[in-house]
Amino acid sequence: MSTTITSYSTNPVDYLNGTYATNQSGSSNATNQGSGNNVIDELIQFLETLLSEMIGQDSGSSSSGGMGGGGGQQPAPSFSTPQPAMSAAPTPSTGTTSTPATGTTPTSTPATSATPTSGTSTTPASSNTTPSTTGTGSSNPSAVSSGAPGASVGTNAGQPANSISVADYGAKGDGSTDDTQALQSAFNAAAAQGKSVYIPPGTYNHSGTLSVNGVNVSGAGSQSKLVATNPDEETIKLGSNSSLSNLETSVSAGNRSSQPDAAAIDVTGSNVSVSHVTTLGAASNGIRLDGATNAKISGNLVQGSNADGIALMNGSSNNTIDGNEVYQAGDDSYSDDSYTFDGKQDSGNVFSHDLSLANSYGRSFALMGASGDTIENSVSDGSKWMGIVAGTDSNSRTLTGSNDTIKNNLVMNANGDAVDVMGAGGSLSQGGAGMNISGNSTSGSEASVLGFDPVTNLTDRSKINSSYIAGTGDGAHNGS
């Protein structure tokens, strides 16, 4: 290559493109363009020569004026050897994700632990092994619940499209007006018009039950409050193809009731969804499934019910109870009971990623008379009796339960056995009736199982009803 360059006013990009014509000395370089020479080689030579002459010009300068601002001449880099790029952060090895400590929100999906050996266990193992998240439920708890269950706080996305507002039908939401008729009129109108219903922020008193059929009802989170003034007729009854989401219900109920209309929410149809609803207090259940099928009960907070928190009965089948939290229930936190006097057996219901916290009587999870149910990847903390039980309850006159699955759950601070099977006459064992019990633990962290940290600042039940006295479950002392 014969080109000689002694001055460097030419842009290297122009050089590569062949657009420059002369250098400062006036000698033509155009003869080297488009002649078939290797342009890349010429550019490298150009840059090497440029850098060498710049260094030579700086060699007599003071150290403060040297290349790079350092103390003297710097060696010219070699263009023939590529410079190494900055290395990326090391990738963690698969399966080494640490279990998040209780009280801290995990920033990544907890690692899935080894699948426990299947088969019937005896006493559940007490170890530091995190329960596995394998099974029919999601193996990524954070995909199920990204935060604490219940109505959202401090967010209001506004009225959804193609919806009607209860305010348009006369609902005041002022905390003193009886809005029963206005609310029901809005629900009926939405069903007739094929629209959904929006409940704006406010406190809506209702003295009677409310019925929702084939309508989606949503609110502005905890800012939308439905307050029942009659504990015996507090329920929001959901028929087929209905949904209720993102609002709060409450009642002051001194005594326990077993009636459907005394439940905060009563699901009676098929294909119903209840999500991110907070129920504060209930004379009966917080959420009741009464002959329901294919319902999805997810991400709800049920607090301070006088009876069971979330209860299934009367032939309820193939329902999913997922990512809920039941706190300070008056009896069992979660129950699926099939009674002889109903003559219908519940079956195929799945409880997954649910939390029972500090129920005041009974068990955290009870499958009495149900067949083919599953409790998995859930947590019982502070049960007054057993943590999880399945089978038959003769005292409550249930049918014979069988073929239930209880796996990969965490039971903490129970006052009875962690996991039991109850036989006729009240006998207890850790197996039998075709039950599949495996992979349950009595040690670990709730966050590692649920994917979120349990709420630690729940409203105390006594603030809902000052006369509430927890502890018996029979209603005799649940207020006066």
What's the CATH number where 345 sits? Answer: 2.160.20
Residue 80 lies in a domain: no
Q: Does residue 315 share a domain with residue 185? A: yes
In this predicted structure, the answer to whether residue 251 has a pLDDT above a threshold of 70 is: yes
Residue 244 lies in a domain: yes
Nearest to 43 by CA among 9, 7, 81, 3: 3
Cβ–Cβ < 8 Å for 454, 381: yes
Q: Show the domain range for 29.
A: 12-59
CA distance 209 to 110: 43
Q: Does residue 170 share a domain with residue 43? A: no
pLDDT of amino acid 235: 98
Cβ–Cβ < 8 Å for 220, 245: no
Q: Does residue 195 share a domain with residue 331? A: yes
Q: Does residue 20 share a domain with residue 158? A: no
Least confident among 48-57, 200-209, 289-298: 48-57
pTM of the model: 0.70
Most confident of 90-104, 376-390, 455-469: 376-390
Classify residue 237 by burial, with Cβ atoms within 10 Å: 0-12, 13-18, 19+: buried
Residue 103 lies in a domain: no
For the chain, the average pLDDT equals: 75
pLDDT tier at 306 (50, 70, 90 boundaries)? very high
Last residue of a domain, one of 42, 59, 76: 59
Classify residue 221 by burial, with Cβ atoms within 10 Å: 0-12, 13-18, 19+: buried
Residue 84 lies in a domain: no
Least confident among 50-59, 169-178, 262-271, 466-475: 50-59
Q: Does residue 160 share a domain with residue 41? A: no
* Mean per-residue pLDDT, 431-439: 87
pLDDT tier at 46 (50, 70, 90 boundaries)? low
| Predicted confidence (pLDDT) per residue in 438-468, tens digit | 999 999 899 889 988 787 767 787 777 777 7
pLDDT of amino acid 27: 35
Q: Does residue 333 share a domain with residue 424? A: yes
CA distance 295 to 213: 14
Count of domains forming the chain: 2
User: Could you tell me which residue, 462 or 99, shows the higher pLDDT?
Assistant: 462
Residue 451 lies in a domain: yes
CB within 8 A of 307, min separation 6: which ones?
256, 257, 258, 282, 283, 284, 285, 329, 330, 331, 473
Residue 71 lies in a domain: no
Nearest to 249 by CA among 213, 274, 214, 215: 274
Residue 443's CB: how many other CB atoms inside 10 A?
A: 14
Residue 266 lies in a domain: yes
Tokens of 198: 């929006």
| Predicted confidence (pLDDT) per residue in 174-227, tens digit | 999 999 999 999 999 999 999 999 999 999 999 999 999 999 999 999 999 999
| Predicted confidence (pLDDT) per residue in 316-332, tens digit | 999 999 999 999 999 99
Q: Does residue 164 share a domain with residue 23? A: no
Q: Does residue 376 share a domain with residue 255? A: yes
Q: Does residue 40 share a domain with residue 175? A: no
Residue 247 lies in a domain: yes
Q: Does residue 164 share a domain with residue 51? A: no
Q: Does residue 273 share a domain with residue 391? A: yes
Strand partners of residue 250: 227, 280
